[in-house]
Amino acid sequence: MNKTLKILIPVICINALIYVLFFVKSTIFKKETVSIALVGLHRSETGQDIINAVTMYLEKVNAEGGIDGKRIELRLYDDNNDVAKAEQIARQIAAEKEVLLVLGHHYSSTSDIAGKIYGIHRIPAITAAATAESVTAEKPWYFRTIPNNKMQADFIANYLYLTLKKSSVSIVYDEDLYGTSLAQNFEKTVNNLGVSVKEKWSFNLKGPNPDTQLKWIIEDLVKSDDPGGLFLAVHAKEGAYFISELKDAGKHFLCIGPDTFSDRDFILQFSELPKEKSTPGYYTDGIYSSSPFISSIADDEAYQFRQAFLRNYGKEPAWSAYCYFDAARVAVEAMKKAGLKGEGELRGDRERIRNALAGFFKKENAVDGITGLIFFDKNGDLNRPYAMGVYKDQRLLPAFTQYKQVIDPKGVKNLFKRVLEGEYIVIDRELMSKFNVIYTDVFINDIKKMDIHHSTCTIDFNILFQFSGDLNLDKIDFSNAITPVRLNKPVAEKIDGQTVTRIYRVKADFLTGFDLNAYPFFSYMVPIRMRYTSNTDHRMIHIADLSRISGLPVPAYHPMDDPGGDAVKWDIKDIQYYREHLLDEAGMGQPGVFVEQDGTNITQFNVEIRLEKEGWSDVIKIFIPSIIMLVALYLTYYMPMDRLAFKVLLVAAVIIVNAGFHFKLLSDIPMGYSTSIEHVLLSVYFFAVISVISSIIVSKNYRKGEYRNCKRLMLVGKVVYPFMILSLAFLITLMYYLPGKGGGL
C-alpha cells in the first residue's frame, strides 16, 4: 500500500502541475489583450502590404510589453472595397463590443458609410488611404493620417500649372465619392489659377453600360489633338484602361493621376499586356502620379522600415504600407496616452482614445512617424503636400521638383518675392517650399590602400547624376573625403530637353571609420558621404539601374590601366544607399519628407559598400597559432598522470607565446576594439588555467593512489575540452562572421 502511495502521489502532483501550467494559466495568468480592427481589401497586393506593415508595428509594441502590460490583438476584416460589405462589417464591429479602434477603410466610399456607424457607436477610426473630405468632415470619431482630396487636387493643379507649365487641362473622373471630390476641387483650383478646362468627362460604374461609357470617353479623347494636361480622377483599374487605350491609339498626352496611380495594383494592371511585357514601361513611362509618400525621398527611419520589410516579406513596401505603419503608431500612442482602464470600460476607453487622438493637434505634441510628424486639424485631417512621382521603367520615381510644408511662415525672409519667383507656393492656405531631386547612382571601379590604423582607403568610382535644368554640381561636398573632391569635366553627358544626365570619374582617399570587431573576418563597411551645400534644397536619392534608364552607358573600367593596386583582393558583397537629415532649414517646419524645421537644411546621401577579403588564407594564418596552442593544451590530458612538472612547463610556454601574439595584436589594431581573434587569445589563457588546475588535481589523486579518480578526470578532460573548443568556435562564428555581424559602421 505504501509503495502504491509513493508512486501515485508524485503522479498526481505532476498532473496537477501540468493542469496549472496549461489550463489555469490561460485564465489566471493570461495577459489582458486589447483589440484593434484592420478593415480593407486584404486580398490585393496593397492590402497584404498594409497587413504586413501594421503587424510589424504591433509585434514590436507587444515585444516591448504592449500597452501598460496589455497585449494588442489585431483583427482582420475584409470589406472587398464594397460599400454594402463595409457597412455590414462596421455594424459587426459595433455589435461585437470588443474592438477599441479601427484602422481603415481603404476606399473613400467604404470609409464614408462605415464612419457614420462608427460615429453612432462612438468607435474611433483612422484611415491612411481614404482621401475624400467627407470621410472625416463632421465625423469627430474619424481621423486621417494622409492629406485629403482637396489638398491632393490643389497640389496636382498647381503642379500642372507651375512645374509642368500647362495652361489648359481636361478632366476624366469617376462619379463615385472619390472621383467626384477630386474633380470638383481640381476644377475649382485650375480656374483660380487661370488655367482653362478644355473638356470634362465622367462615368458611373454603377450605372447602365459602364463599358460603353468608358469607350465613348476614349473615342472623344482619340479625336482630340491636344486636351492639355489630362487629369484622370479615377481608380487604378480604370486609369490603366484609359492609358493603355490612348497609347494603343498613338496618343501621347501628358497624363497625371491621383494616389490610386501610385499603388502597386495600378502597375499590375499592365503586367499581362504583350507590349508591356516586351518593353517594360511601354504604357506607363512618363505618366505622373501624386502619392502621399515616396520612400526614395524619405530619410533614414523610412529606409530602416523598408529594409526590415524587405527582410520579412521579400518585396518592396507600397506607400500605403508606410502610411498604415504610421497609422498603427498613432493608434498605439493614443492608446498609451489615454490610460486604458480595461475590462468593463470599453465605452470609456474608446472615448479616451478619441480624445487622445484629437489631442495631437499641433507639431509640439505630434506623433513622429516615418512619413513625418502627424498632427490633425479640427476635421481630423493631416495637412501636408503630396509627393509627385513619374513612371520610368515600371517604377514610380520622384519627379525632379517636389514641395514641402512650411510650418512657420514668419521665419521665411522675402516671402512675397520668393513666391513670385516660384520658390514657394500656397496650397489650401498652406505655404509650401520647393525642393529639387537629383537622381544618383554609383559604380565602384576599385577600392585599394586599405589602412586600418588610420581608417582610410582609396575609392575609385563613377558617379552618375540626373537632374532637371541647370544645376551647379560644384556644390556637392564629399564630406568624408580627406581632401576636397572637385567634379570637373564629366566623362559622359546626355541632355534630353530639360533632363540632364552626367557621369563623373572620382578617385580619392576617404575616411572610413572601420569597425574592426570582426577582425580577422575581413568584412568592412566603406562609406561615401555626399551633400549638396546650397541655400536651396537639393536632395540626392539613389535610383538603381540609372545608366540603363537614362540611356547613358558608364565607361568601362580597365584595372590594367591603373597600376598600384593592393595585393589583397576585396569582394564587394553589398552596396546600400540612404539619406539622413543633418540639420533643418530656417523657417521650414517639421522634419520629415515633406516638412522641415528651423535651422540649416542639410541632408546627406550615404553610399555604404560592404567588403569581404577574397579567400580564407589570411584568416587561417591568423588563427593557426591559437589553434596550435589549444591543441598543445589538449595534449596535457594524454600525458602520464605523474608528469606534473612537464605539463606546467608546457602550459607556461603556451601562455608566454600567447601573450606575445596578444601584444602584437594590440600593436596592430587601434585601441578600443574587442576583436574575434582577441576573444580566442583570451580563451587560450582560460584553457591554460583549466589545464593547470586539472593537472594539479590529477597529480594529487595520483600520489594518493586514487587511480580510478585520475582516469575519470582525464576522461572528462578529453571529452569536455573539445566540446568547449567547438562551442567557442560556434560563438565566434555567430558573433562575427554571420551576415550582419561582421564589420559595419
Tens digits of per-residue pLDDT, 656-703? Answer: 888 887 887 777 666 555 677 777 878 888 888 888 888 888 888 878
Say whether both 696 and 682 belong to one domain: yes
Q: What rounded mean pLDDT belongs to the chain? A: 86
In a domain, 338, yes or no: yes
At residue 341, the 3 state secondary structure works out as: coil
What is the model's pLDDT at position 27? Answer: 44
Q: Is the peptide bond before 105 cis (omega within 30 degrees of 0)?
A: yes
Say whether both 172 and 284 belong to one domain: yes
| Banded model confidence at residue 610, pLDDT cuts 50, 70, 90 | confident
**What's the Cα-to-Cα distance from 494 to each of 136, 451, 528, 553, rounded to whole Å?**
48, 37, 25, 10
Segment among 517-526, 536-545, 584-593, 717-726 with least mean pLDDT: 584-593
What is the model's pLDDT at position 684? Answer: 85
Say whether both 267 and 303 belong to one domain: no
Span 310-340, pLDDT tens digits: 999 999 999 999 999 999 999 999 999 999 9
Say whether both 118 and 138 belong to one domain: yes
Residue ranges of E strands in 7-92: 33-40, 71-78
What is the model's pLDDT at position 596? Answer: 46
What is the model's pLDDT at position 599? Answer: 41
Domain harbouring 304, CATH code = 3.40.50.2300
Strand 387-392 and strand 288-291: pairing?
antiparallel
Between CA 639 and CA 646 the distance in angstroms is 9
Say whether both 121 and 51 belong to one domain: yes
Segment among 257-271, 278-292, 582-596, 709-723 with least mean pLDDT: 582-596
Residue 743, pLDDT > 70, answer no
Tell me what the mean pLDDT of segment 105-128 comes to. Answer: 97
Burial label for 401, CB within 10 Å (0-12, 13-18, 19+), is: middle
In a domain, 12, yes or no: no
Spatial CB neighbours of 523, under 8 Å, sequence gap ≥ 6: 573, 610, 611, 612, 613, 737, 742, 743
Say whether both 220 and 81 belong to one domain: no
425 vs 191, more confident: 191
Q: Of the candidates 323, 327, 292, 325, which has an alpha carbon nearest to the alpha carbon of residue 308?
A: 325
| Banded model confidence at residue 722, pLDDT cuts 50, 70, 90 | confident
Residue whose entry in the numeric block shows the C-alpha cell 596592430:
668
Spatial CB neighbours of 635, under 8 Å, sequence gap ≥ 6: 650
Between CA 686 and CA 89 the distance in angstroms is 65
| Banded model confidence at residue 20, pLDDT cuts 50, 70, 90 | low
Domain harbouring 551, CATH code = 2.70.170.10
Span 581-594, pLDDT tens digits: 765 443 333 444 44
At residue 61, the 3 state secondary structure works out as: helix
Spatial CB neighbours of 318, under 8 Å, sequence gap ≥ 6: 45, 46, 49, 50, 263, 264
In a domain, 401, yes or no: no
Tell me what the mean pLDDT of segment 593-607 comes to. Answer: 62
Segment among 229-243, 265-279, 730-744 with least mean pLDDT: 730-744
Segment among 33-37, 115-119, 527-531, 620-624 with least mean pLDDT: 620-624
What is the model's pLDDT at position 22? Answer: 47
Backbone angles phi, psi at 489, to 5 degrees: -75, 130
What is the model's pLDDT at position 634? Answer: 83
Q: Are 159 and 291 in contact (CB under 8 A)?
A: no
What is the model's pLDDT at position 419? Answer: 82
Say whether both 206 and 60 belong to one domain: no
Percent of all residues in the chain with a pLDDT value above 90, rounded to a whole number: 55
In a domain, 15, yes or no: no
Span 43-74, pLDDT tens digits: 899 999 999 999 999 999 999 999 999 999 99
Domain boundary among 382, 400, 417: 382
Neighbours of 274 (CB within 10 A): 8
Say whether both 663 and 607 belong to one domain: no
Domain boundary among 291, 321, 337: 291
630 vs 729, more confident: 630
Burial label for 734, CB within 10 Å (0-12, 13-18, 19+), is: exposed
Domain harbouring 704, CATH code = 1.20.58.390
184 vs 456, more confident: 184
Q: Which three cell numbers stand for residue 440?
A: 544618383
596 vs 147, more confident: 147
Segment among 410-414, 480-484, 540-544, 549-553 with least mean pLDDT: 410-414
Domain span including residue 187:
149-291
Span 494-526, pLDDT tens digits: 999 999 999 999 999 999 876 666 665 656 789
Spatial CB neighbours of 607, under 8 Å, sequence gap ≥ 6: 442, 527, 528, 529, 530, 542, 575, 576, 577
Give me the number of domains the chain comprises.
4
Say whether both 364 and 326 belong to one domain: yes
Residue whose entry in the numeric block shows the C-alpha cell 537644411:
601
In a domain, 590, yes or no: no
Say whether both 163 and 277 belong to one domain: yes
Span 354-403, pLDDT tens digits: 999 999 999 889 999 999 999 999 999 999 899 999 999 999 999 999 99
Residue ranges of E strands in 269-332: 288-291
| Most confident option among 122-126, 427-431, 569-573, 646-650 | 122-126
Residue 3, pLDDT > 50, answer no
Backbone angles phi, psi at 196, to 5 degrees: -85, 145
Residue 740, pLDDT > 50, answer no
| Banded model confidence at residue 535, pLDDT cuts 50, 70, 90 | low
Domain boundary among 253, 274, 291: 291
The secondary element (H helix, E strand) that includes residue 717 is: helix 707-732
Span 129-143, pLDDT tens digits: 999 999 999 999 999
Say whether both 445 and 571 belong to one domain: yes
19 vs 309, more confident: 309
In a domain, 415, yes or no: no
Say whether both 273 and 318 belong to one domain: no
Helix 300-313 vs helix 319-338: crossing angle, to nearest 10: 110
Q: What's this model's pTM, rounded to 2 decimal places? A: 0.80
Amino acid at the residue 316: E
In a domain, 4, yes or no: no
In a domain, 198, yes or no: yes
